[in-house]
Chain A
Amino acid sequence: MKKVIKLSMIALTFSLIAACATTSDVEDLQSQVNGLNTSVKEASANAASAQTTASDAAAKAEAAKAAANEAAQLSEDANAKLNKKFKRSMMK
Chain B
Amino acid sequence: MNMSDYNKSTSPFIQLLGVILLSILTSGCQHLKFFPDATENVATPELRPEAKTKATTIETHEFQISDDQAMVGKIAAVYTRENDTLSDIARHFGLGYNDISKANPAIAPWTPAPDSRVLLPLQFILPDAPHKGIILNLANMRLFYYPKQPPGKVFTYPVGIGRQGWSTPMGLTSIVAKKANPTWVVPASIHQEHAQKGDSLPSVVAAGPNNPLGLYAMRLGFPRYLIHGTNKPYGIGMQISHGCVQLYPEDIEILFKNASLGMPVRIVHQPYLTAWHEDMLYLEANEPLQKWTQDKGRLKKQLLKQLRQVSSKRNVAIDWEKVDSIIERSDGIPTPILKQSPDVTDIAANAVQLEHPEKLYQQPVVGELKDSDWSILVASFDSELEAQELTTMLNHQGPIIPARKIKKNNAYQVIAGPFKNKKEVNAIAKRIRMDFEIDVEPLKPLSISGN
Which residues of A are interface residues toward B (Cβ below 8 A)?
Answer: 75, 78-79, 82-83, 85-92
CB pair B390 A87 closer than 8 Å:
no
0 or 1 for each of B108-121: is its CB under 8 Å from A? (1 = yes): 11000000000000
CB pair A88 B389 closer than 8 Å:
no
Residue of A nearest to B197 (CB): A88
Size class of the contact patch on chain B: 20 to 34
Residue of B nearest to A85 (CB): B436
**With A79-B389, A82-B390, A82-B393 known to touch, is A88 a contact of B435 (CB < 8 Å)?**
yes
CB pair B240 A87 closer than 8 Å:
yes
CB distance from A89 to the nearest CB of B (A): 4
CB distance from A80 to the nearest CB of B (A): 12
Contact partner of A82 among B212, B230, B389, CB < 8 A?
B389
**With an 8 A cutoff between CB atoms, is B445 at the interface?**
no
**With an 8 A cutoff between CB atoms, is B157 at the interface?**
no
CB pair B389 A92 closer than 8 Å:
no
Which residues of B are interface residues toward A (Cβ below 8 A)?
Answer: 108-109, 160, 163, 190, 212, 230, 232, 234-235, 238, 240-242, 383, 386, 389-390, 393, 396-398, 431, 435-437
In the bound complex, residues from chain B placing their C-beta under 8 Å from that of A78 are 386
CB distance from B98 to the nearest CB of A (A): 11
- Interface SS of A by simple majority: helix
Contact partner of B437 among A79, A83, A85, A90, CB < 8 A?
A85
CB pair A86 B393 closer than 8 Å:
yes
CB pair A90 B232 closer than 8 Å:
yes
A–B pairs, 6, beta carbons within 8 Å: A83-B109, A85-B436, A89-B232, A90-B235, A90-B240, A90-B398
In the bound complex, residues from chain A placing their C-beta under 8 Å from that of B235 are 87, 90-91
CB pair A90 B436 closer than 8 Å:
no
CB pair B212 A92 closer than 8 Å:
yes
In the bound complex, residues from chain B placing their C-beta under 8 Å from that of A92 are 190, 212, 230, 232, 240-242
CB distance from A19 to the nearest CB of B (A): 56
Residue of A nearest to B390 (CB): A82
Q: What is the CA–CA distance of A82 and B111 in the complex, to the nearest angstrom?
A: 13
Residue of B nearest to A89 (CB): B435
Q: What is the CA–CA distance of A88 and B163 in the complex, to the nearest angstrom?
A: 10
Residue of B nearest to A90 (CB): B235
CB distance from A5 to the nearest CB of B (A): 62
CB distance from A10 to the nearest CB of B (A): 55
Q: What is the CA–CA distance of A86 and B109 in the complex, to the nearest angstrom?
A: 12
